[in-house]
Structure 1
Amino acid sequence: MKRNVFILIAIVALTVGSYFVIELLNSNPPKPILTVEGKKVEVAQGSYCWEGLIDAKCVDTVSPHEIINVKNLKPITVSAQSELKIKYKKEPIENTLGVNRWINNKDSESIPIKRNVIRLPKEKGKHVYNVFANWDNGSSNYIFVVEVR
């Protein structure tokens, strides 16, 4: 009986320990989970700097519009002025979450965020965004595109 309890405790300890080791070794930033009108929004990795236990790297990418073309990122169709929710499995450092809407290849505007939610525009058409945040291990930025109908 004591042997079975010991084996069970050892298995639980190994499982929990493995999870923490994997997290420490992970050299990729957290990916946002974006939802609007009950639908998940596809994102593409933008520029980032991230430090894992073994390595650290900074990756600079092309502009958001070019990322959309290269990654063949498809827009999600949304209603005018719908709410988009931003969530991460690992919460970013407080007050570092931000969103920009790209007007063209060079110009963007900051979008207000309230409780990790942004309001999408009422203007019809495709709108390109990037969402960014900081963590203790670094910073990251992801691109997404919506089409207001």
Structure 2
Amino acid sequence: MSGNKPPKATIEIGNKSYETTLGTYCWHHNGKGECVDKVGPVELLKDQKPVNVHPGEKITFKMDYEPKPNEIHVEQINKNNSIEIPVKVNSFFAPNEKGIYYYSYGVWWMDEKEENVSNGDAFYAFVIKVE
């Protein structure tokens, strides 16, 4: 794994790109490992302005890094309710119901040879407002 912390991740909505905020991660580089624990997405983004989206609009994850993570989980948080969102080809769709939604985009670089061994993981947070 290159770099001393996980790569940047962005979300693409329409033809615009938006930064995500790096949360908790564990990263292995040059034989050393570092784990950083941060608060969850709602606390992490409390001062951030949500990205405005249309109901059902496509949201795509982008990461300019090789190798790509080989395991992905997305959690949606709205009014203290949390659900896992299915992701297909690095994309998912915004909810149809108006409101503010927080997301945790968790990615893992699982070892190709050793089962259940992670070479790094990272959680990225972002917030949207469905109008």
Q: TM-score, normalised by structure 1?
A: 0.74
8 Å CA contact 2:26–2:121 kept in 1: the answer is yes
Quick check: 2:57–2:93 contact (8 Å CA) kept in 1?
A: yes
Q: Structure 2 regions of 5+ residues with no counterpart?
A: 112-118
Task: Determine which structure has greater relative contact order: mean sequence separation of CA pairs < 8 Å that are 6+ residues apart, divided by chain length.
Answer: 2
Choose which of 52, 55, 58 in structure 2 pairs with 1:77: 52
RMSD: 1.6
Distance 2:16 2:63 in 1: 16
TM-score w.r.t. the length of structure 2 is: 0.84
Pick the structure with more helix per residue. 1
* Unpaired runs of at least 5, structure 1: 1-22
Residue aligning to 1:115 = 89
Q: Which runs of 4+ in 1 moved over 2 A?
A: none
How big is each residue's C-alpha offset from its partner over 1:46-89, in whole Å with a ceiling of 9 and x where there is no partner?
111001116321011112111012xx322111101000011212
Is the contact made by 1:50 and 1:138 (CA closer than 8 Å) also made in structure 2? yes
Q: What is the count of residue pairs matched by the alignment? A: 121
Greater share of strand residues, 1 or 2? Answer: 2
How far apart are residue 110 of structure 1 and its match? 0.4
Distance, in Å, in 2 between the alignment partners of 1:48 and 1:110 is: 19
Whether the 8 Å CA contact 2:76–2:101 is kept in 1: the answer is yes
Which structure is larger by alpha-carbon Rg, 1 or 2? 1
Q: Which residue of 2 aligns with 1:141?
A: 123
What percent identity do the matched residue pairs reach?
33
